[in-house]
Structure 1
Amino acid sequence: ANEVDFGSTPVAPFIGITSGSDPAPLLRELRALSAATDPSRPTVLATCCEGGMFGDAEIPIVANEADLGGANRYFGWYYGKPSQLGSNIAALRAARPDQPLSITEYGAGGAVTIHTDDVMGGPVDARGRDQPEEYLSYFHEESWAILDARKDLWATWLWNAFDFATLVRKEGDAQDINTKGLVTYDRKVKKDAFFFYKANWNPAPTVHITGRRYVNRAYPVTHVRVYSNAPATELQLNGRTLGVRKDCPQKICIWENVQLDQGSNAVTAVGLFADGPVRDSVNWTLEAGSTRAFRIDSGALVAAQSGGGRFGSDAFFTGGTAGSVQPASGYGPPRPRKEVHGTADTMLISTYREGDFTYRLPVADGTYRVTLSFIEPAAAAGERQFDVIANGEKKLRSLDVAALAGAPMTMVTRDFKVKVTGGKLVLQFTPVKGQAIVSAIAVEAM
């Protein structure tokens, strides 16, 4: 059996499960039939929902209706965070310590034409379009780190090797396709995550630069990640060396804050193996308008299109949480978008970061104009006030977006100049009352 324990979760009505459905009697009948037909083979089933992922939904416990246990778990995709997988496995082991346990599915979607600058920039949309290829890699890196360390599982299966057809999905860059594969539906493109597993599982020399299909870069500074099982790996940019990384954890070599050149960027990784070097190369571009500018779509995992220049997804932040005034994707037909007044960039302004948070931008020394865009999602005038501090200087005091906008769902902008020395611009959003908030940040050289 597979996932017969949806119970009263929100998923149940969409797969034909009605309230009060009890799969146990049929499972017992099937188990008896299996034992009578071939007693040499153990029975096994995969569960979906035991362990509190769906809040207080009533879940039938069916794992004990088979000899072997299997669990399909999607922490960091349909619910929770990847780091929660370990505690869920531990709870399943504690509930049935004598039953062998496996992870029969774990995975996430990833579209090779959709990209992000920071996988933590905003929520992934498991039922919609925001499914960047980089998030798929992040999910598998985090999940495999947990699974690889465990010695109490009789098997694990990632879901899935290939994108596959389904009539109930409209997600990522596809229609009627589940995008959880490590390889695209047409079998032509191996996604970055494919090479993560190859570097970890296959002894063949492997060197692979990730983010290779994110060609037109939004920011002049980026982290470069390489999957390499070489003892040492060198990174080069336009022929100059950026250093060597040795014995990289999980075969993930990282060069942080790499400054890109205007125009073409030839990036080469060289794995230094005993039998000789193995190379991988990609070409990225940085348009002139992005060379000395940081335009950030705050709260967005995937940056929206804008008439005000090229924006990247939310990045360079610490603290705060991402949100949106638009309804989240879910089961069933998409919900209509809400209108944002005072701007043509509805989707850019719809997302936001709120709380007590800071942006640290690695900008070149010089004078910059900082333009901040805001929207008030819920608070009334007087309920949310905050300061904005740039490199220690308070530029905006007790900003009240709702009072300034004068109407709900209306964009407000403020700008100021700042002089940067030391190669860093620090923007602090500090609550005075309630939480600070910002929808978009544009830092442009003057």
Structure 2
Amino acid sequence: MKKTIVTLGLLMGFSAFAQDHFSGMSTSNRVGILNGAMNPAEFVNLSKRFEVNIYGLSFNVANNKIGFSDISSDANFEELLFKGTDPVDARVDAEILGPGFAMKWMKWGFAITTKAHANFNITDVDPDIGKAITNDNFVLTNIPLNSTNNQRLNGVAYGELGLSAARSLFENDKHSFSAGLTLKFLFPGTYSNFGLANLNGQISEGPTGAYLTTNSPATLNIAYSGNLADSFTNFSDYGKSIFGGLNGTAIDIGFNYQWKGGSKDYKINAGLAFKNMGSMTFKDGNNQSTNYIFDTQEPGPLDLSQFDGVDNLKEVEEILSTNGYITKTTGGKDFKVKLPAMINLYADFKIVPKFYVSGFLQQKLQDNEGNDQITTVNTFTVTPRFNIGFFEAFLPVNNNEISGTNVGLGFRFRGFYLGSGSMVTALINDSKQADIYTGFRWAFL
């Protein structure tokens, strides 16, 4: 697995990411499909009667170990990724907004949207295991392992088609309240998961290599579907199979309140949304999800050098099974995975004419340890924003549980927008976050 780890180290070495896609744009008072994707109740507040989304792209990379200064240094990426004692957390994530259409009619708002997701995650991986696999300079030592967490390598790609409806429930000269719902039809494309939980034992390093011994049985899940069955480190494989067949549904439910400041403006715009409540089932000829007991007591210590050059889960499974290290408990060909359910809570305040400040909180509703769970992160963003109608500039300041605090920069000129949630920090400090987003939409009447 050495080449796998090297690839991941290089990939994650380009810093880190906050899951707040389109940071700063989604809370703009120029309301459109981006706002509705965050909270379906916002479709009632569309700035124009009609909007057509042409494209939108948000790409993010994340880890909790490597900063920008490390990219240009002579340091070894593998050593940096597995340095210290804190578990390794890393993400690569892309969200693509495809063609979409939204409209408002009387007290209603409607939309049809398309979206694609692709991400790869390293969650709670013990750095000592990474060191043992990647290090060729062995010394005589024993490294204790005692992790109750589920150490995961996980990747997924899927598409969605959303049908949204929102309605104004109350409105007068000063206040308005609306609610909305999006029904998502899910198209699972490809999936992979390696989850090793309750690992207690030690790694013994000597002249002949590194060996893993367990003191008690651990649990292991290996699952794969589609292209990721053959390789889970090549990000192009995610793009080849984003949209599979229709095989899942989810819903978003949202609420919106406005304290009005005029016929076309507000003093406060606040919202609450419950997102991604649903799941999808992977069905493919290349499918498998199996739970195992992992134990080295009877076959003897596991030689970690056997994973040198391995880049897919089938090979990992075969090595462990052939040598008697795993015992199957449950499994099947078709399996279900849960979407990353979350709460979005936000408020946008008009400070003075043309100047606004918004606060946005994303809180996940589940932990990331479940082998059937697509992961996400908690994040909080404060965005000062200057808006003169056709032009808008914003400065998002975000904090997330992986890379800490970062400052970005972005702008909108009519329907085109471009921004980043970490650009300023990357230029002036050793940021552990890198992301960029761009898009174009056309609103009229």
What's the TM-score, normalizing by structure 2?
A: 0.20
Structure having greater relative contact order (Cα 8 Å, sep ≥ 6): 2
* Structure with larger Rg: 1
What's the TM-score, normalizing by structure 1?
A: 0.20
